[in-house]
Structure formats: structure tokens, C-alpha cells
Amino acid sequence: MEMQQFYYDNKIVKKFIYATIVFGVVGMLVGLILALMFLFPNVTEGISWLSFGRLRPLHTNAVIFAFVGNAMFAGVYYSLQRLLKARMFSDFLSNLNFWGWQLIIVAAAVSLPLGYTSSKEYAELEWPIDIAIALIWVVFGINMIGTMLKRRERHLYVAIWFYLATFITVAVLHIFNSLELPISAMKSYSVYAGVQDALVQWWYGHNAVAFFLTTPFLGLMYYFVPKVANRPVYSYRLSIIHFWSLIFLYIWAGPHHLLYSALPTWAQNLGVVFSVMLIAPSWGGMINGLLTLRGVWDKVRVEPVLKFFVVAMTGYGMATFEGPMLSLKNVNAIAHYTDWIIAHVHVGALAWNGFMAFGIIYWLIPRMSKGTLYSTKLANFHFWIGTLGIILYALPMYVAGFLQASMWKQFNPDGTLTYGNFLETVTQIMPMYWMRAVGGTLYLTGMLVLVYNIVQTVRNSNAIEDELAEAPALQEVSNKRFKGEKYHTWLERRPIQMAILATIAILIGGIIQIVPTIMVKSNIPTISSVKPYSPLELEGRDLYIREGCVSCHSQSVRPFRSEVERYGPQAKAGEFVYDHPFLWGSKRTGPDLQRVGQKYNDNWHFNHFWSPQSISAGSIMPSYKWLFDNKPMDVSMTEKKMKAMVTLGVPYTEAQIANGQKDLRAQAIKIEESLKNDPDFVKSYEESKKKAEARGEKFVPMNEREIVALIAYMQRLGTDIKVKDNK
């Protein structure tokens, strides 16, 4: 049999590993800064692009798409070539994948702090960047599938199944969730409204975790754990069951993020059923990985790479047990909107993704540079300090979550809320926020140890070059099944058929859940009193989105006695029909805002945005002083925004659009006049006017500043529905 010589492309793997390390440090550093902002909320006072609401999506995007994404590409590009015994299909596409992905990350790092965001969880990037993501993802897929077609190894190993499913599903999720109507170069509105938008978003959000943070890393687990341990995968049959059941079931589970919301009950219940079923394939994968190490536990004790893998797989098991448990309605009623969810998410991210990435980096760099790891002791130190960091991060957040839930739901004997002031629950969990910051610091310290260890390893080793390999050419074989050949064995040598079946498996759940909610109008009953936002309120809503307020405040009252007593009547699907995008939120660092309209006067909101602590002592909300700057609010696109809303189904009339600027200004002047009821406001307003004139600056009236639009939006929330004690 003729042997063919070729070179594995190690240089592309090196690039992705270095990017993983750089963005890992950046993403974790931003995360630590955010943790400190809970303790020192005004540490970046007056600097809009360093505010919590703008940095929070930067942190999640940096960790998920920059750190984990680059680690995924590094592992896939290394393992795929060796599993298929072929160089990547195209060096040009490999490099386009790398540089395109890094440019997307840079675009995110610039645009998010500047306030360009869609506000949708894990999908905050605006439409031009969304298009770039889709294009680069297609480049990755073409390169991967092209390599499969020119392979020298007929059998597609289990890891490749997971890579295929990842490519297909992420493409489908990203495209459908990112359907939006552009307004300008960096502004768009989701084509979905309210309940529909929420369902599509969490179909995407949950499955972004499933198919970007889970399935590709399961593929890496199936390659690297046996490779490092020098053992075969524990069970080939279990890997088949694990793969197909996981990709079929996962896609149904998104609605468990929307339990007790305005989402139709049938969709919620479907999410619960399939979420509970998910525990079987998830634990099947964990067991398959851990039992692969049977007989080599002595090696685990001394090999830091295997230690990282063991904790990663254990973290995966914990997170995938907890996920189905959190989808149970009685558990979700306690956990949702609390810091319990923060703990849950970080166990998965820090242990499963982080430790898998660390183990892969420690194993790959010495092999590709034909050297040895600079310091095994430092790698072991990284393992232990990182593990301690995870524990000190997660445990306080679990405690904080339990404490929040119990305090929110407590009643006095006379039927009143024991803790009627939301701030009382915040002050009680501050010690847990301190501990979280300590845990995050330890985890980041471990990352910096890795940086030093890898830098020294590379300095003391050969340059990472392409690797010579040799394998026989692939022999032509009939597409038909051999006599006695099992169906799945036949499928494992047919990448196109496997891709088609995987696509069908992931589409079924999405179609059954989403199509009825989007297409059947009667599923979202209308409420005649619900009207579109005024032009000023629409501008205020965009400011609310720009500042990332949804990161800390929900707008969805659940049907619990405690929430109805605290906030007002439960949320109804018809209230959100003009919301593009929806703003239900996923965390309550502050109280729910769905019924806040007219609860406080305009001066209260004015002072609250200027200095939250002056209104609520002990508040951890930062100030938003740039909203008060002596510069006019940009209202140049108001009419264009209203026309876009009409396209999306919002019933603005031509007269309303034509009078948009006039109506906006009239409402703004009315709010300014109400602010003058406060003598302190009048005094400071006149003083600032005199100072501006003394400096020769043009003085911008308060009714033209951004704060007035945001107040207008806040005062509108919930007022379409009659709410008891709202005034």
C-alpha cells in the first residue's frame, strides 16, 4: 500500500492557543473588575464605557467566544488533522478563520463598552458583527468538512461527530436568533417581539451553552483524555447513545429559562420535560470520560494535565445535574433571578471549559515545540489554586442565592412582606460578594501562572513548526453497507449523511417549540390598553438597552404571592407585543421594574440616576452621570426608528411619525417642568447654566438631555395595565 507524506498544520493551532491565553487573561480580569464593582459600585464613576452595564456583556463575550472559542478552535484544528490523517483542507481558510475570529473579538471589545448592544444574552453584538460571525463560522465549517472529504482515515471518530453537530447547530441558532432590522450602522431591532423574542433568545441562549460550550468540548474530551491517559474510550456504545440523545434532547430545553413567565404554559412544560431527560446523556458522557481513566489513577496523581481533566469532567457532571434540577418548577421558583444561577453558570465555565482548556494547553505546547513543560510544579500549583478559586467563587454564590430567595419570599404574620425594601436583601449578601472576589482573584492568579509557565516552555523549546506525517491513501469503498455491517458503523464513514441526520435531530425540537409561538397569533393574546411607546419613551428604552440595565433588573413579575405583593400583578404576554427586543432579564441585582412606572416622581428618578446612594443608602447601583452631560440627546433617528417599528408590526400612524420630534420635545419639556418642583433641582440647574455661560459654552436645556428620555421610559413601565398602589 502506497504511503503518502504530508504535514500537519501546527502553526494554526499555535495561533489559536496564544489567542486563548491572551483573551483568557482579559476576560477573567474584566470579570474580576465586575466582581469588585459589587463592592465599590462607583469605582469608575462618570466613565460611561467602564460602567458595569457595559462591561458585563464584554466579560461574557470575552470568556465565551474569545477564551473558550479560541480554545475550541485550537483543539479542533489539532485533533481533526490527526483523526483524519490529513492536513486541514485549506491553509487560507484556516488563517481566515483565525484572523476573522480575532477581528470579531476586537470589534466586540470596542463596540460593547461604547454601548452598541442588542441586549440579548450571549448575543449582544450588533448586526454587522453578527454577519461577520456567520461568515467566519461558515469558513470554519467549509474547512472542517473539506478536510473530512480529503481524509486518509475512513472511520469518523466520536470526537468528529461532536464537531459536526457543533458547526451545524451553532449556525442555525445564530442565524435565527440574530434576525434583526437594521436602523443604522450599529443599531437594529429584533424582528421578534416580547414573548416570541424571549423564546427564540433562550432557545439560542441555552443551546449556545449546549453547542458552543459543551458539544465541542465533549469532542475534545473524547480525543484528549484517551490520548493523555493512553487508554481507549471506556465505551464506544455509550458514546453513540451519548451523542445522539444529547443533541436531540438539548435543543428542547431552552424554555426552562422562562418558567413562571408570560411564555405559554405548554412551551414551559416541554422545556421542563426535556431538561429532566437531559441528565441521562449528560452523565453518560461524564461517566464515559472518567471511566476512560480506569487503571491509570496513579498517573492522575502526578500528571497535572489529567488532574485538570478530572476536575473538568466532574464540573461538567455537577453542572449538568444541576441544570435539570433547576428546570423543575419548584426549584426554579427559588433559584431563578438569584445568585444561585451565577454559581451554576460559573461551575460550568470555570471548571468544565476553563480546566479542559488549561489541560489541553499544558499538553499541546510541549509536544508541538518538541520540549518539556517548563515546570510541572507550577502546573500543579495552578491546578490547586484554580480549584480553590472555583470553590471560593461558587459556594458563596450558592449561599447568596438561597438567602436572596428566602428573604424575598418571607411574610409577617399580618400578611405583609418581612423585607419589603429590596435593598435589605442586598446588604445581607455583601460578605458573599467579598468571598466571590477572592475566589475570582485566585482563579485569575492561576491563569497568570499558566502564562508564565507557557512562555518559559516556549522560550526553552524549539519553534512550533508543521509536523511531518505519513499515512496510506484512502481506498475507494462502496457507499452501500457491507454484509453484517451495523448501521452506525456505516454512518461513521459517511460524513454528509451524518451531518444531515444531526441537522434533522436538532431541528425537530426548535420547530415544534418556536413555530407555534411565532406563527399562531392567538398564542399571544392582545390587550387593548397596551399602546406603543411615545417617541421619547422609545429613545429612553434604547438608552436603557445601551446602558445594560437589563443585566441587573428584570421586567417580568412571576405569579408568586411575594412578587405580586412586592411588584404588582403578574406579567401577561400581551403587555410585551411592542417590545423589540424583550427585556425580561435573567438576574435581580436590583428590584423588578415591570410596574415601576408612576411609583416614584420624576425627581426621584433624576436623583437616583445621579447618585443612587443618596436615595437608597447602601445601594450597589452605580451612578449614571454622563446621562446628565451638557450635550443634546441624539434624536436624529427617531422617525426612522418609528418607521422600523411599523415594519415590525407596531401600529404607529403616519401622523404620529410625522409629529415624532414635536411630541418628543413636548413630553421632555413636561418632565423638565415637573423636575422644577424640587427647589434643589432649580438651584443647581440655574448654577450650572451660569457656569456654562461663563465658560462660553452653549447651555443645553434639561429637556434635551438623555436623562429625560430615560425617566420617560421608566415612568411608562407597567402603566398600560391598571396596577393597585402604583401611585
Annotated binding site for heme b: 59, 344, 346
Taking the CA atoms of residue 70, residue 433, residue 207 and residue 498 in that order, the dihedral angle to the nearest 10 degrees is 50
- Sequence ranges of the binding site: 59, 206, 256-257, 344, 346
Nearest to 224 by CA among 20, 362, 23: 362
57 within 8 A of 548, measured Cβ to Cβ: yes
Amino acid 307 reads K
If residue 80 lies in a helix (H) or strand (E), which one and from where to where?
A: helix 69-84
Who contacts 570 (Cβ-Cβ below 8 Å, separation ≥6)? 557, 558, 559, 563, 564
Three-state DSSP class for residue 468? strand
d(CA 13, CA 164): 19
Residue with cell 475570582: 440
In terms of Cβ atoms closer than 10 Å to its own Cβ (0-12, 13-18, 19+), residue 690 is: exposed
d(CA 594, CA 300): 52
Three-state DSSP class for residue 587? strand
> Looking at residue 411, what DSSP letter applies?
B
Residue with cell 407555534: 516
Residue with cell 437594529: 188
> Looking at residue 334, what DSSP letter applies?
H
d(CA 241, CA 248): 11
274 within 8 A of 252, measured Cβ to Cβ: yes
Name the grid cell of 31. Answer: 470579570
State residue 182 phi and psi, 5-degree precision: -65, 140
d(CA 252, CA 512): 9
Nearest to 515 by CA among 324, 270, 276: 270
- Sequence ranges of the binding site for Cu cation: 206, 256-257
Residue with cell 487573561: 25
d(CA 266, CA 258): 12
- Give the chain's end-to-end CA distance (angstroms, integer): 86
d(CA 293, CA 519): 49
